[in-house]
Chain A
Amino acid sequence: MTTGMEGLEVDALSITYPIGQGPFRPRLELKAVREVSLSIAPGKTLGVVGESGCGKSTLARGILRLQRPDGGTVRWNGQSISDLTDDEFRHVRPEMQMVFQDPLASLNPRMRVADIIAEPLVTHRPELSGSKRQALVAKAMERVGLLPDMARRFPHEFSGGQAQRIGIARAIVLEPGLLICDEAVSALDVSIRAQVLVLLEELQQTLGLAILFISHDLAVVRYIAHEVMVLYLGRVVEHAERDTLFANPKHPYTQALIGSVLSKDPEIERSHEVPRIGGELPSPIDPPSGCPFNTRCPLVQPICRQTMPALVVQPDGSQVACHVVEAQKAA
């Protein structure tokens, strides 16, 4: 099935990991992603935030078919890629590229920089001549700010920031339409992180990239993303335009996350009231019944322990899954 929509569309994606398999162990399921829907148009960035274990990375793996979903569809430029055979998917895959967290660990230490960046071309465009391939590699290196004389060097000769530029060059050499950045700047030093964020912005403008930007750092997400989605135990609890979300967060979890971010201004930080959010993330293997956030929520009501709240569109266009928000609207 195709729709006219350009860019990425994900509809009700669910991913489950079977765990504890073995003759004497109970078969358990970890529902890592539950009915997540999103869309990203070319030139736009969707930020996905949440704490460790909320399903951010599994979502990325599901979109790239690195993990088999047990429900939902993923469409790229209107074409469903969920039903494709692996062979058919191979023709779509160059359109979708990923940048990882640990730049050095994601580069083969025994390959030279030029060969690392050329590898996607060798796999996906074997018909290219050597000189054409070299030209594309040189162009990708220039785009990410690597000097031509670095092409013959090995990854260990680079700092983390430069290594991440190599990782980004490898991701854009096929001129993809979608870039998935999974904590792509988290391991970088502050001064280098800013360089890479600015680089991603520039590349998005030049190449019209749709970017799925996964991060635990809310300040970074506010900087780079046009829209933001908040995940908790694999479910979307809030999804809104960037400015709406940060100016007027509605879900108590989003409020707690934003309220926990430290400011570099000591006058603000010293009087910073800590949000009252109890405990820690419950086990995703045995999630609480009802709203997944009910064990920590400062506003919890009896209904929250019984019924899963639906994701409801709010008057300002944001989507929020919270019984208390709905009750306040009705009142």
Chain B
Amino acid sequence: MHQPLLDVRNLSVRFQTAGAPVIAVDNISFSVSQGEVLGVVGESGSGKSQTFMALGGLLASNGETTGEALLEGHDLLALSDRELDHIRGQKISYIFQDPMTALNPFRSVAAQMTELLRLHRGLGQARARTEALRLLERVRVPDARRRLDAYPHELSGGMRQRVMIAMALSNQPRLLIADEPTTALDVTVQIQVLDILDELRREENLAVVLITHDMGVVARLAHRIMVVYAGTIAEEGEAEDVLLRPSHPYTAGLLASMPDLAAPLTQLQPIRGYPPDGRKARIGCMFAPRCFKVQPVCRDVTPALEARVSRQRQACHFPLEPRDTAIAGGAS
């Protein structure tokens, strides 16, 4: 395997609050390569977004980060604000869930796009406008010439998200971080936007991090999947392995909680209980209180992330064998 583009080692993120500090991300390590889509799956509060906000220096002001995040040799977490600005402007782009709040409602698409192109690539006004048009066409905005002069409220949700993707491309990034990029979109539009992301990945050799709660989204696009629970990686491996032969009871439970139109209709088997509070002490496996395979050791000893029973790595003392997965009602 070639050198990863992004190599994150022992990353932790904590937030100071009036009470106990909240640990959002607890000592996680992972990497992303060029031309690869890494799917990051987790529920609200799992730390999946904060992990990647930390890399771009985008945490709230009470956030603290430790660890290393090497992007082509630069440690993003050790850079000064100015250096980070430079690297971010050259190499990293973000796409967020809600394009309406990310776009400035008072400025036309052209004004917002040319501003970025002038800033990041030093283009003059006329060339910036030509480039903006090319980028809109690149993300298959129909009638792009007319839409260039539109204001955000004149565009549908799907078109706004395409504009956001076009803007994210304006600095010619190496790493694209897409945080729930299709969650706010209707189903018929969602699949179009996902396929644009995949096309860009292929043609521009981008590394894409796809953060989502939707197993269907990662099933379509991701090469590798990282399942995050309570700030730790529960399971990490090839998409096929994780989705078809989940080895962590949490992954199996998530899959069994999701009805699937392509599978026969079966009774849902929800995971019992609720995710833990980030302020609680971290002892043992964080999933233990909700796990159907829990043993006494799970409550005391934190399991390491290693490959025990299968190709993928899992942080679990008692990982599922493929036959257990069927019992847990996991992959169909």
Residues of chain A at the chain B interface (Cβ within 8 Å): 51-52, 159-162, 189-195, 197-198, 216, 218-220, 222-223, 246, 256-258, 260-270, 272, 274-275, 277, 279-281
13 examples of A-B residue contacts, CB within 8 angstroms: A190-B215, A192-B274, A197-B268, A257-B188, A261-B261, A262-B220, A264-B216, A264-B260, A265-B332, A266-B219, A267-B240, A277-B188, A280-B159
**A260→B43 contact, CB < 8 A:** no
CB within 8 Å: A-B pair count: 130
**B259 at interface, CB cutoff 8 A:** yes
**B191 at interface, CB cutoff 8 A:** yes
**B262→A191 contact, CB < 8 A:** no
Q: Is the interface of A mostly helix, strand, loop or mixed?
A: helix
**B244→A265 contact, CB < 8 A:** yes
**A256→B260 contact, CB < 8 A:** no
Task: Specify which of A51, A223, A265 is in contact with B262 (CB 8 Å cutoff).
Answer: A265
Complex CA gap A140/B201 in Å reads 51
Q: Which of B187, B215, B274 has the most CB of A within 10 A?
A: B187
Assess A260 versus B187: contact at CB under 8 Å? Given A193-B257, A246-B261, A268-B262.
yes
**B258 at interface, CB cutoff 8 A:** yes
**B260→A161 contact, CB < 8 A:** no
Minimal beta-carbon separation of B324 from chain A (angstroms):
18
Q: Which of B275-315 contact A (CB under 8 A)?
A: 275
The residue of chain A having its C-beta at the shortest distance from the C-beta of B223 within the complex is A266
Complex CA gap A161/B189 in Å reads 28
**B4 at interface, CB cutoff 8 A:** no
Complex CA gap A167/B131 in Å reads 50
The residue of chain B having its C-beta at the shortest distance from the C-beta of A243 within the complex is B265
Complex CA gap A198/B259 in Å reads 12
B26-53, CB under 8 A of A: which get 1 and which 0? 0000000000000000011000000000
**B265→A223 contact, CB < 8 A:** yes
Assess A191 versus B260: contact at CB under 8 Å? Given A262-B220, A265-B243, A266-B243.
no
Residues of A within 8 A of B268 (CB): 194, 197-198, 223
Q: Which of B63-113 contact A (CB under 8 A)?
A: none
Additional A-B contacts beyond A160-B44, A197-B270 (11; CB < 8 A): A190-B215, A260-B191, A261-B261, A262-B214, A262-B219, A265-B219, A265-B332, A269-B220, A270-B220, A274-B192, A281-B186
Complex CA gap A314/B186 in Å reads 28
Task: Specify which of B43, B239, B265 is in contact with A190 (CB 8 Å cutoff).
Answer: B43
**A190→B260 contact, CB < 8 A:** no
**A189→B244 contact, CB < 8 A:** no
Residues of A within 8 A of B215 (CB): 190, 264
**A162→B274 contact, CB < 8 A:** yes
Task: Specify which of A161, A191, A264, A268 is in contact with B253 (CB 8 Å cutoff).
Answer: A191
